[in-house]
Amino acid sequence: MMDPEFSLEGQVALVTGSGRGLGHAMAMRLAQLGAAVVLHDQTETSPAEYGEFTTLADSERVVAAFGRPTTAVTGDIGDEAQVTRLVAEAERALGPLTLLVNAAGGDIAARGGKPNPNTALGIKIEDIRALIDRNLVGTMLVCRAVVPGMIARRTGAVVNVASSAGHFGTSPEVVYSSIKAGIVHYTRCLAFETRPHNVRVNCVSPGATATARFKQTRQTDPAMLVEDGTLVRYGAPRDQANTVAFLCSPAARFIHGQFIRVDGGLTLF
C-alpha cells in the first residue's frame, strides 16, 4: 500500500515538455504515484527529435500504461494564445489542474549537436529571443494560465525546472544559464504571491542527466562528466523525476519558494 504522504491520487498534473526527456520521466513518475497526467509538447512529432518516441501519442501511451487518466496537448508555450488554448484543452479533458510541472525548455546550442556561437558576445539576437521565449517566457505564461485557478480553489503545487547552469558562470551556454537563473528567481517571486493562498511553488535545478538529447549532444564519456576540473556522475532522468514527485506530494507541504539542486554535487556552494 502506498504511503499517503507520497500519494498523488486525485491530483491532475500538467507537465510541459513531457513528450520526451526529463519531462517524460516526470510525467511517468507522477502517474505511477496516482496522478492523472496531461502530457505536452510543441508539436505532435516533437518527441521524435532525439529518437525517444515517434509521436506525442506514443509518449502518452507509455504514461497511460500506469492505469491513470491521461491526455496530451500541443502548443508553443512562448505564445500566449496557444498557452491559453492548451490549458483549456487540458482542463476540459481531465478537470481542474492541481499540479503543474514546467519542464519545457532547453538550449538552442544543443540542437542537432552543432552548437551555435552561444557566448556572451557572440550569440545572435534571434537566438537570445528564442531562448527567452522557450524557457523564461514559456514558464511565466503557463503559470499565468494555470495558477489563478489553483488560487481560486486554494490548492495546488507548481514545480519549475531550471538548471545547475543557472547557479554558476559558464560558457558557451551564457544566455541559457542566465535565463535559468531567472527561472529560479521567478519561482521565488511567484511563491511570494501564492503563499497566502495555499499554492506551493518550488524549483528544481537538474545537473547533467543522461537523456537521449544529452547523449546525442555531448561528446564525452557516457558515465562521467568533467566540469571545471571536477568529476561528476551523470544523473538518470528518474533522479529528477523523483525530486519533482516529492515536491508535488503532501510530504512536501512545508516546502515553498525553494530551489533544489539535483546535480550529484556539481554545485557545492
Domain assignment present for 126: yes
Question: In this predicted structure, which of 35-39, 83-87, 91-95, 179-183 has the lowest mean pLDDT?
Answer: 179-183
Q: State the catalytic residue, choosing from 50, 176, 186, 234.
A: 176
Question: In this predicted structure, which of 113-117, 139-143, 212-216, 262-266 has the lowest mean pLDDT?
Answer: 113-117
Domain containing residue 62: CATH number: 3.40.50.720
Residues 6+ apart with CB under 8 A from 61: none
Domain assignment present for 38: yes
Output DSSP code: residue 137. I
Q: Over the stretch 115-128, which tens digit does the pLDDT of each residue have?
A: 556 778 888 898 88
Q: Over the stretch 211-232, which tens digit does the pLDDT of each residue have?
A: 656 656 565 444 444 544 455 5
Q: Over the stretch 248-259, which tens digit does the pLDDT of each residue have?
A: 999 999 999 999
Q: Report the interhelical angle of 80-94 vs 138-153 (nearest 10°).
A: 40
Q: Residue 99: helix, strand or coil by DSSP?
A: strand
Range of the domain at 100: 12-262
User: Residues of the chain with pLDDT > 70: what percent?
Assistant: 82
Domain assignment present for 220: yes
Is pTM, for the whole model, over 0.75? yes
Active site residue 176: yes
Domain count, the chain: 1
Q: Residue 265: helix, strand or coil by DSSP?
A: coil
Domain assignment present for 6: no
Pick from 157, 137, 135: which is nearest to 146 by CA? Answer: 157
State residue 184's pLDDT score: 94
- pLDDT exceeds cutoff 90 at 6: yes
Residue with the larger pLDDT of the pair 107 and 33: 33
Q: Over the stretch 142-194, which tens digit does the pLDDT of each residue have?
A: 999 999 999 999 999 999 999 876 677 776 678 888 899 899 999 999 999 99
